[in-house]
A and B are shown apart, each in its own frame.
Chain A
């Protein structure tokens, strides 16, 4: 019985680590960025620049947070 419960938990944990990892704010920013990009695109505005900008900024913020923790 314990094994039956353990496998789905391990599977869920794999996806949690795969998507969220050490810093949930990065995954949240990527999700928000994709939604904003879709909204800009649907309004026929230039949208391709937003996600690379989010990546560069969020990486810096995440590194800064990790630096403060250590």
Chain B
């Protein structure tokens, strides 16, 4: 039950980070170029992601758990550290700011007839590109804990929840604090990455699974310290008032 909850929360939060950006792009494309091609493109993107998750999940189910945890842990660690670093930088620089599309990313209005392939490709790319990293996290967490179904539920639930908020309140979704969300998920991925990679090497952690909590606290304190340092450094460059 505990493992299932960890898998559900982690995959939900990781998926929510990418879903915010994905939904923002899809809403932007749909609002300006029309919904038919945008929704077809999004559906096609989710179809590709479902095939990736199913294929990768089946392949990982038969792998031996030790080497699997080493590889998955190492990959989660290097990827988690990237989000950890970006999260610290963004929270230090912008606080709890949400995301906005850059003006050059906003699609031009569609006034033509027939199927809008541009909208299709834009929505398809947004779903596949933003979702591929989440698909990997869902598969690796699910396979390592033997909870692939729960992991998929977490991933899909995040997209549905963020998508629902996005449709209901189009402007609110861009204000979801992605910077903080990214930092939290970065810390979680780095924690599990460290734990699994070393378990895969045959290392025994002090306190067994309790070490996960210890790592989580260590990395959260590290994040708080680096955010403070980054803020002070940024303020130091400003001319005195």
Contacts and interface: CB of A to CB of B under 8 A. Distances in A.
Interface stretch (B12-20, B38-46, B199-207): B199-207
14 contacts: A18-B136, A30-B78, A31-B74, A34-B197, A41-B201, A51-B77, A51-B197, A52-B215, A56-B222, A59-B81, A59-B222, A60-B229, A63-B89, A67-B233
A21 B75 CA distance: 12
Given A48-B198, A52-B215, A67-B233, A59 B226 contact: yes
A41 B203 contact: yes
A18 B79 contact: yes
Contacts of B197: 34, 51
B197 to A, nearest CB: 6
A59 B203 contact: no
B190 interface: yes
Contact of A30 (B77, B136, B202, B219): B77
Interface of A: 14, 18-23, 26-27, 30-31, 34, 37-38, 41, 47-48, 51-52, 55-56, 58-60, 62-63, 66-67
B54 interface: no
A37 B201 contact: yes
A37 B194 contact: no
A26 B79 CA distance: 10
A59 B220 CA distance: 13
A41 B202 CA distance: 8
Contacts of A20: 78
Nearest to A62: B85
Interface string B59-90: 00000000000100011011101101100110
**What's the dominant secondary structure at chain B's contact region?**
helix
Given A30-B81, A59-B222, 12 more contacts: A18-B75, A23-B82, A23-B85, A26-B81, A27-B78, A34-B74, A37-B198, A41-B201, A47-B201, A48-B211, A55-B222, A63-B229
Contacts of A59: 81, 84-85, 88, 222, 226
B109 interface: no
Given A18-B75, A47-B203, A67-B230, A58 B81 contact: yes
A34 B233 contact: no
A30 B196 CA distance: 13
